[in-house]
């Protein structure tokens, strides 16, 4: 299995990076199976970066425990959202204002450190407004699911455990073509446009908001 990691540096020895409050799924090494996505992420800071290429044996990869958050038959968007709220750093004013809603979401949390690998959607700062709008009550559950299913967030693998990281073997690193500079911004712009279109759709009587879900739990 071939995996890619976009970066501004060549990384021959993958390591967990990040603190518990600044990444989607906590401290880990984030990769993708899509070389194109790797190039886009490598150049996200408006400069040419590198795509690091790794190999992991299929038998070793299949032996790893994986939490697949993209499995929409098994997990709802609320599971993904609860994990994001657990790990991402939130504005203190926002946390205080919506403390009860964030607390309620904890019931959907899954302990990710029990797994070697997390497969899930990417939700960096550019996309983080989607779940925040659900929590503040301006985006319904149905529309959040619609945004979630668009797939524009991109799929990433978070390599969580030392066992999984040790299985990654560095193959090479290639400098990206200059044409990829700016593509990340284009994707964010397009995703934001689609999000705003969904957010501004007329509200119908069948839509469910976070307070509705919380009230139903109390019944």
Domain range for 128? 2-218
Q: Crossing angle, helix 35-42 and helix 183-199, to 10 degrees?
A: 100
SS3 175: strand
The count of domains in the chain is 1
Kindly report, residue by residue over 37-67, the tens digit of the pLDDT. Answer: 899 989 988 899 999 999 999 999 999 999 9
Distances (CA, A) of 63 to 28, 69, 117, 130, 195: 18, 18, 11, 34, 38
- Distance between CA atoms of 46 and 31, rounded to whole angstroms? 20
| pLDDT band for position 190 (cuts 50, 70, 90) | confident
pTM confidence score: 0.85
**Nearest of 170, 181, 163 to residue 40 by alpha carbon:** 181
For residue 77, what pLDDT is reported? 87
């Amino acid at each position: 299995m071939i995996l890619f990691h976009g970066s501004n540096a060549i990384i021959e020895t993958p390591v967990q990076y990040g603190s518990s409050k600044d990444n989607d799924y906590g401290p880990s090494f984030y990769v993708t199976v899509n070389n194109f996505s790797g190039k886009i992420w490598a150049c996200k800071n408006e400069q040419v970066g590198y795509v690091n290429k790794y190999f992991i044996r299929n038998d070793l990869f299949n032996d790893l425990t994986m939490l697949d958050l993209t499995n929409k038959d098994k997990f709802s968007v609320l599971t993904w959202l609860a994990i994001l709220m657990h790990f991402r750093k939130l504005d203190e004013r926002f946390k205080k204002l919506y403390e009860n809603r964030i607390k309620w979401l904890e019931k959907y949390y899954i302990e990710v450190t029990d797994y070697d690998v997390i497969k899930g959607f990417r939700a960096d700062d550019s996309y983080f407004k989607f779940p925040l709008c659900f929590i503040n009550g301006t985006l319904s559950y149905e529309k959040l699911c619609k945004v979630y299913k668009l797939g524009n967030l991109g799929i990433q693998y978070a390599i969580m455990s030392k066992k999984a990281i040790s299985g990654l073997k560095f193959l090479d690193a290639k400098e990206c073509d200059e044409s990829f500079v700016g593509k990340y911004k284009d994707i964010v712009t397009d995703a934001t446009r689609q999000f705003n279109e969904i957010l501004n759709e007329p509200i119908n009587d069948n839509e469910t908001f976070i307070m509705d879900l919380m009230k139903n739990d109390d019944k």
